[in-house]
Amino acid sequence: MLREINFDGIVGPSHNYAGLSAGNLAATAHAGRVSHPRAAALQGLDKMRANLALGLAQGVLLPHRRPDHAWLGKLSTTYNDAPALLQAQAMSASAMWAANAATVSPAPDTADGRCHLSVANLVTMPHRSHEWPETLAQLRIAFAHDGFAVHGPVPAPFGDEGAANHMRLAASHGAAGVEVFVYTVAGGRFPARQHRQSSEAIARAHGLDPARTLFVQQSEEAVAAGAFHNDVVAVANEHVLFAHEFAFADKHAFFADLRRLLPEVEIAEVPASEVSLADAIASYLFNAQLVTTEAGPTLIVPEEARANPAVWMWLERHRAGNGPIRRVETVDVTQSMANGGGPACLRLRVVADQTTIDPRFMVDPAKLDGIGAIVRRWWPEAIDPHALADPALVRDIETAQAKLLEALDMSGYLTVNHDR
């Protein structure tokens, strides 16, 4: 049976605030502050528990090895000899944001009837550009069944940031859907991370029906305001699209196409007069998990959304009215939010038959408890980004990673090749 499964990234032991992501206002605002990797990982595990309690299927993606010595070797240096910026880029825990791991097209949408996953190249940001080999290694293990096709990255210079710029709408998860690729254009205040050429290449690789595939430009206004990915201003699930008024460059054409292809679509648009782009981005109202529960379409938002009066007032009015979102849940992911990643950033959605997935990547409450015990024992309590060169910190991070892989019976999976 096909169902949607959320694969959350486990927050790695090197989680720190080095401020490496241009255009990510939260990340740059918190640059140089002390992070709390143990608390960050535990918050992420609690979010997964909350998903399970809602009746959702839950999986995990593993933190990457940090520092990334292989990547530094490609740059003809070592961690000890590298300048501070390269050290920070090699130490980044940004793979925790699994929405950037890959773009996923479920089997009902593809020509060969398999679920296709294309690993994101993340070439725009140096600290993320070296994630794809390890992500690809995990995807090839988790989705090794013949029902999946796992693709390598789109080649540079075309930027691809994965599911954070991709939405799928359908009458149900198991029905044929409309796939929406949201791209950005160069020339603005911040880098254009998702290139249309990348989205088109992925659609071709996945064998999508061109008649049911839309390429939509994100508004330059949203990007300039700090919406570095589409999932900062829009999210979709089954027949519901939830978006800010200024999310798209030509919303009228997009909405018309969507209604033509999926007549049952419900569009919940938040007017800028009620929630400004600034409030939407600061609260991560749209960087939420929009999921299907017994109560109906449910929105899982960060606590920051409740703390923003304009945002919470809109949600309360919508829920009290006859809008498509019937339930709102809040989660505490404060440590991730401070680096610019909300509930939606932390998960990759895959519509699949759960029995075809490597069980080591699936979790239940007991397994989460076991991971939590490892985090409490081995994850650093705090990291000052100015102290990333400390050999003791490097040793602690590498030990923590090894302990987790050993506990999950994954110690041997990381045979990856950093050549394309």
DSSP states of 165-217: GEEEE-SSTTS--EEEEEE--SSSSS---S-HHHHHHHHHHTTB-GGGEEEEE
Return d(Cα 299, Cα 297) in angstroms, integer.
Answer: 7
The predicted model scores a pTM of: 0.96
Position 190 confidence tier, pLDDT thresholds 50, 70, 90? confident
- Which residue's entry shows tokens 């949408």? 109
**pLDDT confidence of residue 419:** 44
Over the chain, what is the mean pLDDT? Answer: 95
User: What does the radius of gyration of the chain's CA atoms come to, in whole angstroms?
Assistant: 20
Return d(Cα 312, Cα 13) in angstroms, integer.
Answer: 33
Q: Indicate if 115 belongs to the active site.
A: no
Position 228 confidence tier, pLDDT thresholds 50, 70, 90? confident
What amino acid occupies position 245? Answer: E
- From the list 161, 179, 238, 304, the catalytic residue is 161
Residue 363 has pLDDT above 80, yes or no: yes
- Residue 339, SS3 per DSSP: coil
CB 50 within 8 A of CB 300: yes
Residue 27 has pLDDT above 90, yes or no: no
Residue 151's φ and ψ, nearest 5 degrees, are -105, 150
Residue range 79-96: average pLDDT? 97
Residue range 216-243: average pLDDT? 95
pLDDT > 70 in the chain, percent? 97
Position 229 confidence tier, pLDDT thresholds 50, 70, 90? very high
**pLDDT confidence of residue 32:** 84
What amino acid occupies position 113? Answer: G
**pLDDT confidence of residue 140:** 97
CB 132 within 8 A of CB 119: yes
Handedness of CA 133, 139, 144, 150 (dihedral sign): negative
Residue 94 has pLDDT above 80, yes or no: yes
- Residue 119, SS3 per DSSP: strand
Residue range 250-259: average pLDDT? 98
Task: Tell me which of 30 and 135 has the higher pLDDT.
Answer: 135
- From the list 15, 206, 229, 244, the catalytic residue is 229
- From the list 30, 127, 173, 345, the catalytic residue is 345
CB 66 within 8 A of CB 91: yes
Residues 6+ away with beta carbon under 8 Å from 155: 121, 420
Position 252 confidence tier, pLDDT thresholds 50, 70, 90? very high
CB 167 within 8 A of CB 235: yes
Q: Indicate if 345 belongs to the active site.
A: yes
Q: Which of 69, 48, 66 has its CA nearest to residue 57? A: 48
**pLDDT confidence of residue 420:** 38
Residue 230 has pLDDT above 90, yes or no: yes
Residue range 82-98: average pLDDT? 97
Q: Indicate if 161 belongs to the active site.
A: yes
